[in-house]
Amino acid sequence: MGVKTGKGWNLPWIILIDIYVIWVVTSIAGLAISPIEGDLKTIFPGSTDLEIQLITTMPSMACIPFVFLGGLLGTKFNNLWLINISCLVFFVAGCLFFVADSMWELIALSVISGIGAGALSPLSVTVLSNIFTGKYKTKQLGITSAMLNAVLMVAVIVTGYLAEVSWRLPFLWYLLPIVPVILSPWLKKYIVEPSKEEKNAANQKVKFQFTKECNVPMLVKCCIFYGLVTFMLVSTSLFIPFMMQSYGFKSGVTGDLTSVVYFGIMLSGFLLNPILGILKKTTFDMILLGMVVGFGLMIISKDPIIIGCGIFIGAFFYGVGQPYAYNVCTGISTPQASSLTMSWLIVMNSVGMLLCPVVISWAQTIFHTKDVPAFPYYFMLVLCIICWVFVFARRLIMMKKKVTHVFVFGRGRMAISALTPKEQAYVTANPSDVYDLSTVDAPEPTVASPAPAAAPAPEQPSTPPSSTPSA
């Protein structure tokens, strides 16, 4: 019983649920603050607007540097130990929220919760990508994204009702990190840790070179893409209230349209594998084209139904792009570099969210459109069209271009001519962005793959074999 991993053994359901909980924990920092934001001045008389702004923004700000720190530590230290420490930091902060009695304490605890969530983020993706491989990994990334958005949608509603009873009750969500700590003895056997060979290499003072363990150009492309689509989608929830209010609609309609964002992302997550099977190599440009259609519908009419259809289409294709970018990044580095690789991608989510209101405000000032409520969506439509044209044109050019260089794990980017004849033959027969060619010249005939393949393991292996998932 369990879930297929693609490596010849099944993962128990309790471990899969544990992984889902870890993903949820990375996204709940700040969740409990939202419903009480308007009441903070009453709860803490004398609080300033700056203090209120700090308490709502500090979790996201604190996440950014600690995403990188968590990723860097994940390349050198025991990942299970790091997961438990991150969860405990978050849990302790959650407990202290129930006794905090001043604004500065809430701000400090918000920072601590953001630190825990940030350090945990790259590790959550690394654990999932090291356990699953191939289509099973892609499917789980889609399901994880869908379930995360479903949980957040429900959590926002429940948190609002909890806040009506007591302003401290929403912080019950911050006690969730204790679950992964409790289940860590069962998760331990599925965590990929540095092998004896890697430890021996460290003892011999062999330096870890990220550029040889990760396809950096591909990482840059994924980060730019993910940052852009996040930047564009965030505008939907940020500015839709102002646009609908200017059209004469009440807050109920705005709330319904905002919930469509979560629903679109959730639905595409559950359908990720079939969608990628249809889009194939056109995935990046079709995601952008879908968002073009979405923004187009949002500005051609004032009808909430048409606007809602536009929001749904844009969110649906974003819901494809988010786990797809994760999936690509899990296959462009070795297990040792995977946590740091994911750190760069994950931080682009925060960058996109923080830049969106700043850039839109700047554009409104430049174009003198502060009195045009739909301007953010005109701006996003034009930006999306430009990005789609660029990605589509580049794909056409790359289809005609002869590949002369490839990225090989452990060797970095190198010319195909520098490979052995057997390696050249394999690369020609298996076009990909990254390769592990260590088995091509093995004494016995083996079949290499664009990424190291794990050997079959028993139903519940004591230590699953280390592997680098394929893109």
- Give SS3 for 49: helix
Task: Output the pLDDT for position 464.
Answer: 43
CA 350 from centroid of its chain's CA atoms: 10
Task: Output the pLDDT for position 232.
Answer: 94
d(CA 287, CA 291): 6
Task: Output the pLDDT for position 306.
Answer: 95
| pLDDT of 134 higher than 90 | no
Better-predicted residue by pLDDT, 68 or 116: 116
Q: How confident is the model at residue 466 (pLDDT cuts 50, 70, 90)?
A: very low
CA 60 from centroid of its chain's CA atoms: 14
The residue among 218, 454, 210, 449 whose CA lies nearest residue 328 is: 218
Q: How confident is the model at residue 453 (pLDDT cuts 50, 70, 90)?
A: very low
b (16+ CB within 10 A) / e for 5-41:
bbbebebbeebbebbbbbbbbbbbbbbbbebbeeebe
Q: What percent of the chain has pLDDT over 70?
A: 88
Least confident of 332-336, 371-375, 464-468: 464-468
Dump pLDDT digits (tens) for 226-257: 999 999 998 888 888 888 888 888 767 877 88
Task: Output the pLDDT for position 357.
Answer: 86
Q: How confident is the model at residue 465 (pLDDT cuts 50, 70, 90)?
A: very low
Contact 398, 408 (CB under 8 A): no
Over the chain, what is the mean pLDDT?
83
Least confident of 58-62, 212-216, 384-388: 58-62
Least confident of 46-55, 166-175, 243-252: 46-55
169: Cβ–Cβ under 8 A, 6 or more apart, which residues? 162, 163
Stretch 302-310: mean pLDDT, rounded?
A: 93
Highest mean pLDDT, choosing among 13-22, 32-41, 65-74, 156-165: 13-22
410: Cβ–Cβ under 8 A, 6 or more apart, which residues? 212, 213, 334, 438
Q: CA 458, 462, 468, 469 torsion: positive or negative?
A: positive
- Does the predicted TM-score (pTM) go above 0.85? no
Q: How confident is the model at residue 367 (pLDDT cuts 50, 70, 90)?
A: very high
Task: Output the pLDDT for position 208.
Answer: 66
Give the phi and the psi of residue 88 in degrees, each rounded to 5. Answer: -65, -40
Contact 40, 52 (CB under 8 A): yes
CA 286 from centroid of its chain's CA atoms: 20
Is 182 exposed, middle or buried (CB count within 10 Å of its CB: 0-12, 13-18, 19+)?
exposed
SS3 for 273-331 is HHHHHHHHHHHHHHHHHHHHHHHHHHHHCCCHHHHHHHHHHHHHHHHHHHHHHHHHHHC
The residue among 330, 77, 308 whose CA lies nearest residue 208 is: 77
d(CA 279, CA 246): 38
SS3 for 379-418 is HHHHHHHHHHHHHHHHHHHHHHCCCCEEEECCCEEEEHHH
Contact 466, 199 (CB under 8 A): no
| pLDDT of 313 higher than 50 | yes
For residue 296, which amino acid is it? G
The residue among 307, 282, 295 whose CA lies nearest residue 392 is: 282
Q: How confident is the model at residue 101 (pLDDT cuts 50, 70, 90)?
A: confident
Strand pairing of 10-11 and 405-408? Answer: unpaired
Contact 373, 241 (CB under 8 A): no
- Give SS3 for 98: coil
For residue 353, which amino acid is it? M
Assigned token pair, 9: 């053994």
| pLDDT of 38 higher than 70 | no
d(CA 377, CA 246): 14
Dump pLDDT digits (tens) for 269-300: 889 889 998 988 889 999 999 999 999 999 99
